[in-house]
Amino acid sequence: MPVEVALSERIEAFLAELKRGGSGAGTLRGSGETARETTALLRRITGQAQWSSAGDLMEIIRKEGRRMMATQPSETTVGNMVRRVLKIIREEYARLRGSSEVTDQQESLHQLLTSGGLSEENFGQHFKDLRANVIEAINELLTELEATTDHIAMQALEHIHSNEVIMTIGRSRTVEAFLKDAALKRKFHVIVAECAPFCQGHEMATSLSEAGIETTVIADAAIFAVMSRVNKVIIGTQTVLANGGLRAVNGTHTLALAARHHSTPLIVCAPMFKLSPQFHNEEDTFHKFVSPHEVLPFTEGEILSKVNVYCPVFDYVPPELITLFISNIGGNAPSYTYRLMSELYHPEDHEL
Amino acid sequence: MADADETSKQAERNTNVGDGIAVKKQDIARAKNEGKELTKDEKQRLRKEKKQQKKNKKDDKGESEHENVPLPPSQAVVQCQSQKAPSVAPSLALTPVSVCTSEKPAKSKAEQRAERRARQEADRAAKGKKGESAQQPPSGKSKAPPNELQPVVKRLPEHVQVDDPAAVRKLAKKLERQQIPVRSEYGYKVSLFSHLHQYSRKAPLTQQISIPSTVIHPYIVRLGLQYSQGIVAGSNARSIALLHAFQKVIQDYKTPPNEELSRDLVNKLKPYISYLNQCRPLSASMGNAIKYVKKEISNIPCLCKEEEAKKQLLSCIDNYIKEKITLAATTISAYAIEKISNGDVILVYGCSSLVNHILCDAFDKKRKFSVIVVDSRPRLEGREALRRLVKKGICCTYVLISAVSYILPEVSKVFLGAHALLANGYVMSRVGTSQIALVAKAYNVPVLVCCETYKFCERVQTDSFVSNELDDPDDLMVTRKGKIHLENWQDIRQLGLLNLVYDVTPPDFVDLVITDLGMIPCTSVPVVLRVKNVDQ
């Protein structure tokens, strides 16, 4: 059927984009864009695929979701959006079924301790409003996604006072918006660590200085040397893990240790869609490596074959080193992450 | 009266002493003969006046040497006091006469009080005058007698006073006198570092002097260029290159007709040192080497023939290099090998000649270990270390400094080199060293610093800001995917690039320092310095 073909073509196109985007140096598009595209695609699937009950829909979404996650395991926002949509489907189904399940849903702490009363539920019942409701809910999710950066940036003035020295690393669109918003009303100084070998800090620095903020670019090696003069460290991250730790660009762990040594607060600006139910000790999937020619180029040909060269992209930052998370729903401590997770995702969906 | 005879004899002996004392002696002899005993105060006064007279004699000699030898502060204070003393001494000399002849002890006490006040005022005035003439705090020297804990009077080095226009002008005048051009600053300097110089590598000092230069020896010109372009880098390499250049200078040196070698050669070296300082600020090891060379030169006896003197100096410099650098490396390597066991994974940072030497030695002694070389932008010195180790056949891994927390769980020891060891136990080394020590501490990996004793210096520092070196900021630019993001950083007013060269590591991150005197903790550096000073 033509609708089916168009849908699968879109899915294939999206998967190809994902694959290409991750193998370059750093991501070609921000994770916000990925999240929005994933959600749009899931909405399309909901609208156009053939399904009769909630269970069928969840099965289709799970299948597509697994495919998408397998294409690019390091891009966790894809999996997060899939899990959000699954939770939406469960909620809508429960709402249509009746109020008893709604009360069950509200007892989320109870639900955490017991292994979920809905596990016996097979979602077999057919409701004709389900499709429309789910699509509406996904639309709300999309609106929320579009506004995340603005919501985070709005909180900037609560955290930055004047004449501060703020340090950041690499390039994060969220942090950029955060700092530019604060710069409209306050004067402060930003130090950007360039984050070799991709040196995304350079782009960040040019963009900030063009917005009128006093910026300095330093090499990664100078992070500890200048930390004694820094008042706050504000960073972005790729993922927020289930224990409140971070999977951030490499060099962030060193930055966090230096901040703790000087008792400087470390603030992480991360929208909610980056929260992922993974833990960091999953050895195979945590680290991602790119081509070592970024570190030791082919011009060093003589020694290249005799040497092991590593170029990891991500770093793990334990939750003890983090002071505050700022997300689109407000600020929270790392110890609160488990609670936020239970509100966003259903425990059954942690493993897709 | 035996006493009276003695005093009169002394008076005859001291006929070349100033008249004041002779007159006084006669008076006192008269007083004794008249049966009056000298009061305690009068005896004290006598002693003090004798001291001043002796100082007067010394200062007459001291003034003639004033142009050649720089006066230490104590002599300057004495000079000022002695200038005041002659005016005071006659008044003091007069008063005993009046005291002796008067018959009322009460009046003499009032006179004594007046004299004491006059003396105090003279001292205060002398201190004030001295304070104007020299910009050093004189209080320590003028009050305390010399003992072991003599406070060291230091002058702030010029290279950390760039934000003070008076200091900059003073330097410019000094360089003009020595006919060396002043190097111009480059680029926007980050406000935290406005007290340091920042130069561009594309504008070396040699562009401003004529070649061949009439003032500076050609070897020194070449050396300065090698320093400023980074061709000779690393504290050992720079010191050895400096000493070899000095040897050439000494070989080519001819004493001018009316001068002494020991004084003239030191003066000849001063413009060279200023020139090298302009090309690249001197390191602590170079400073110690220069001090040694100057000391050796000034210790040459004046009756020594020129050829002999030159030969002696050349062999002194050879000995210094052999003892302090080459043999020290062998000793340190012998100590360090005890710390390397089979199966170790050793992490090194950048390119330290000493650490490379240790690893190559350990490999020769058949220890089985592997090495992880950590490197950082923009200097990328680790590649040089990597080449040397791979050539030797050691199994190596290479990462950038941002990946150090990924690789550290596999590391068993960290070996770091040092640029200098400061007197408060801080280690001054290439920027990034403190970061590696920090992360190693977090993972409980032992950190060992290897450093020769000639790099120990008496400075103290707690952070990396007050005294550092700023390298060319353009080095931070990089081409990624055909585009240079920071290409026009000079045009953007709010953008600054910071390229630090050194940083200081606190002693709690360092577990052991291996020196040629043994393995010591970081905090024992002042003890070693003291032992060295006593030896010399």
What ipTM was predicted for this assembly? Answer: 0.88
What torsion do the CA atoms of B269, B275, B281, B286 make, to the nearest 10 degrees? -20
Which residue of A lies nearest to B476 if distances are taken between CA atoms? A219
Contact in structure between A280 and A262 (CB atoms under 8 Å) = no
Q: State the DSSP string of A181-236.
A: HHHTT---EEEEE--TTTTHHHHHHHHHHHTT-EEEEE-GGGHHHHHTT-SEEEE-
- State whether B496 and A216 contact (CB < 8 Å): yes
Q: Which amino acid is present at A246? A: L
Which residue of A lies nearest to B488 if distances are taken between CA atoms? A206
Contact in structure between B228 and B201 (CB atoms under 8 Å) = yes
What totals of helices (H) and strands (E) does chain B contain, helices first?
A: 18, 13
Residue B525 confidence class, pLDDT cut points 50, 70, 90: confident
Q: Which residues of B touch A205 (CB under 8 A)?
A: 486, 495
Q: Which residues of A touch B486 (CB under 8 A)?
A: 202, 205-206, 217
Tell me, what's the pLDDT at B103?
Answer: 45
What percentage of chain A reaches a pLDDT higher than 90? 53
Which residue of A lies nearest to B443 if distances are taken between CA atoms? A257
Q: Which residues of B touch A206 (CB under 8 A)?
A: 485-486, 489, 492, 495
Tell me, what's the pLDDT at A222?
Answer: 94
* For range A241-265, the mean pLDDT: 94
Distance between A16 CA and the closest CA of chain B, angstroms: 22
A92: tokens are 């809508």
Let me know the angle formed at the C-alpha of B264 by B260 and B269, rounded to the nearest 5 degrees. Answer: 150
pLDDT over 50 (residue B89): no
Q: Which residues of A touch B480 (CB under 8 A)?
A: 25, 198-199
- State whether A257 and B390 contact (CB < 8 Å): no
Tell me, what's the pLDDT at A184?
Answer: 94
Among the residue ranges A91-105, A306-320, B67-81, the one predicted with the least confidence is B67-81
CB-nearest partner of B485 from A206, A225, A300? A206
CB-nearest partner of B402 from A228, A251, A300? A251
Instruction: Give the number of other Cβ atoms within 10 Å of residue B442's Cβ.
Output: 18
Tens of pLDDT, residue by residue over B293-329, are 999 998 888 788 888 889 999 999 999 999 999 999 9
Tens of pLDDT, residue by residue over B198-222, are 888 887 777 777 767 777 888 999 9
Q: Which residues of B touch A197 (CB under 8 A)?
A: 377, 400
Nearest Cα neighbor of B431 from A242, A32, A223 is A223
**A296 reaches B (C-beta below 8 A):** yes
- State whether A220 and B401 contact (CB < 8 Å): yes
pLDDT over 80 (residue B68): no
Q: Which residues of B touch A229 (CB under 8 A)?
A: 192, 465
Q: How far apart are CA A236 and CA A30, in angstroms?
A: 12
- State whether B398 and A251 contact (CB < 8 Å): no
What percentage of chain A reaches a pLDDT higher than 70? 89
Distance between A190 CA and the closest CA of chain B, angstroms: 10
pLDDT over 80 (residue B227): yes
Q: Please, how many CA atoms are within 13 Å of residue B51, restricted to the half-sphere of its CB?
A: 8
CB-nearest partner of B378 from A219, A254, A311? A219
Buried b (16+ CB within 10 A) or exposed e, A334-348: beebeebbeebbbeb
**B399 reaches A (C-beta below 8 A):** yes
User: Which of A9-13, A238-242, B27-31, B50-54 is the most confident on average?
Assistant: A238-242
Q: pTM for the full model?
A: 0.79
Instruction: Enumerate the H helices of A24-75 as residue ranges.
Output: 31-48, 54-71
Distance between B477 CA and the closest CA of chain A, angstroms: 8
Q: Which residues of B touch A308 (CB under 8 A)?
A: 396-398
Distance between B497 CA and the closest CA of chain A, angstroms: 5
What percentage of chain B reaches a pLDDT higher than 70? 77
**A124 reaches B (C-beta below 8 A):** no
Tell me, what's the pLDDT at B536?
Answer: 64
CB-nearest partner of B401 from A212, A213, A221? A221
pLDDT over 90 (residue A197): no
- Chain A interface, best mutation among B194, B347, B400, by max A CB count within 10 A: B400
Residue B26 confidence class, pLDDT cut points 50, 70, 90: low
Tell me, what's the pLDDT at A239?
Answer: 92
Distance between B508 CA and the closest CA of chain A, angstroms: 12
**B400 reaches A (C-beta below 8 A):** yes
Q: How far apart are CA A251 and CA A287, in angstroms?
A: 13
* For range B440-456, the mean pLDDT: 94
Tens of pLDDT, residue by residue over B347-404, are 999 999 999 999 999 999 999 999 999 999 888 999 999 999 999 999 999 999 999 9
Distance between A48 CA and the closest CA of chain B, angstroms: 40
CB-nearest partner of A202 from B390, B486, B494? B486
- State whether A310 and B407 contact (CB < 8 Å): yes
